[in-house]
Structure 1
Amino acid sequence: MIPLTTERLRLRAFAPGDLEFVRRLHVNPDLVRFIPSATTPDEATARRRLGRFMSLVDHPVQGFSLIELRDGGGGGGRTALGTAVGLVLVKPIPSSDGAEASVLEIGWRQVAEHCGHGYVTEAARAVLDAVHAAGVEQVVAVTDPENLASQRVAERIGMERLGLSRDFYDARLVLFRSFGASRGAGWLPAGWELLDVGEYAFPGPSRDQLVAAVLAGGKRTTTALLAEYEAGSEPLPAPGRRELVVDSAGTPVCVTEDVAVDVVRLGEVTLEHAVAEGERYTDLVGWRAAHERFWTGPDYRGWFTVRGTEPPAVDDDTLVVCTRFEVIARRPGWEGGR
């Protein structure tokens, strides 16, 4: 979905260097008033929040977009090119009854000193249009009944006011809804936009090779460090969980469903599991060496550092999550690396 550009703005993914912006964003008095949980009192909290903002960077419709100015912002040259002014988020909205999320929400936050220029409205309209263009039929927004400024944003981007509701966040909120063209998303199953994104390695040749192996049927298992789920505050996979697998361009290529999940010591991983990873491993020595190179490499270790967590040691006792999955839907005509 990102990057996007509008007349005055550029929307991009969050990066490790945006930590100070995350702090500034979350001291806006109106934000703290209406969303107390958004308070960011210390660096550890700011790092966790930044990690969350970076976590959906490859999802085709979900994500956290940083809003920055393409020029001086029409402020007489007083605002610098590239100044970060806010964010727009798109994510599944939690139901008050505890049921699984059934619809995406769009929301927005803004740095206090940049309010009043229409930046959030301009950015939110671009994001909402992009989400509908991707095939998502319905999106909602919720605001505190006293947050009139946020309600005006929802109305200005064309969302329908439905009135007060307790359907979401277990709170009394003003509910808005937007419907796009009901054209679906082709081969993708209903509810695809709510699925977690399945990311193999980092974008580049390695990811596309792994995705090609999944689509070809050779790859049916994967392995991750347990510490990765802990650092990202993510629940462990479980049988029945589905993922929207993307390639390096962030394009959905298939949907997988987990059929078995085991947490074991690295030294206990079986040859059967290693071979089923589809990367031409014939013994555990080669499998182990390749995975240790990835888990101790700068990109992977940097992922932990951004989240304020020390990268874990990797040895026989390191806990890993071994997942077996199957492909339940695939994009027609997909060719690796394209």
Structure 2
Amino acid sequence: MRLTEVWRADPERTFELFSEFPADENGFENQAAGMDRERFAVYVHELEEQSRGIGLQPGWVPSSKYVLINDEGAYVGIFNLRHRLNDNLRVGAGHIGYGIAPQYRGRGYATVGLRLTLDKARELGIDEAYLSVHKDNRASLAVQQHCGAHIDHEDGLEYYTRISTAPEPGNLPKAEFMFPGPERDRLVGLILAGTKTATAALMIEYEEDDEPLPQVGERSALVDSSERPVAILVTTAVDVIPLGKITDRHAIDEGEGDTTAAAWRHTHESFWNAPEYRNEFADPDFPLNDDSLVVFEHFKVVRLLDSMANKTADGYEQQV
């Protein structure tokens, strides 16, 4: 079973699949209803551009439309994934819409297809998927609930559901700040409070350990001194900067008390010149000067875990 973007799928079979749906069925809208093959080919090209954010109509967002293909190669359903939400979508249709061709309903394809679409959402960095379903469409509500949905709210016509797509902390690399102890827990508190939104390391650390640089969109589990995951972080930007080019803004973003580049540099050079730090390198006498490269990683908290949600820099050891 697989999802394939409509512009990568077989054109004729995709056209036949879309032709099986009316313009609107239980909230699933088919913009291709009534199109002939020539117009449908243009529509598929428009969908490809829409997935890249090209030529969007007012109020639209980038989205990807997929066909669900079963193990026998049959085209059984259509799934749409919006890459992000605007205010109207957030209180309305949400991220995902789907429909299964009439002859394939009742066989579990909707559940499989929705799970595959949630995987795509996770790859886009969506930690919680928003969906909606007509109140009289109990089968579709059951599909969503089988995929972990809960009803967030409702109105006279619709249930509005939410499905967590955040990865489990145990499956993520650890984000460890300093060594275990009071200083690590102080930094964890600053991160939870939103004061610390960046961290810095010398490029030589990555070179010494033959590690790749962090990448935008990567997630990690922030751990405290007890190695307990307390939050999930996502990398939002990575800058490689000569030490002499660090600015006051960098110092403030790191959130550890330094508000000027000069103060930041004094604090960090004291750490980077300490024997305990340098003795970890093959050449502990490596130079540290204006040209030394610093990897400056920006991040944000995307999920607080369990009882840690109310901990802050001032009250990390005590629930508030």
TM-score by length of 1: 0.41
Report 1 or 2 for greater relative contact order, CA contacts < 8 Å, sequence distance ≥ 6: 1
Bigger radius of gyration: 2
TM-score by length of 2: 0.44
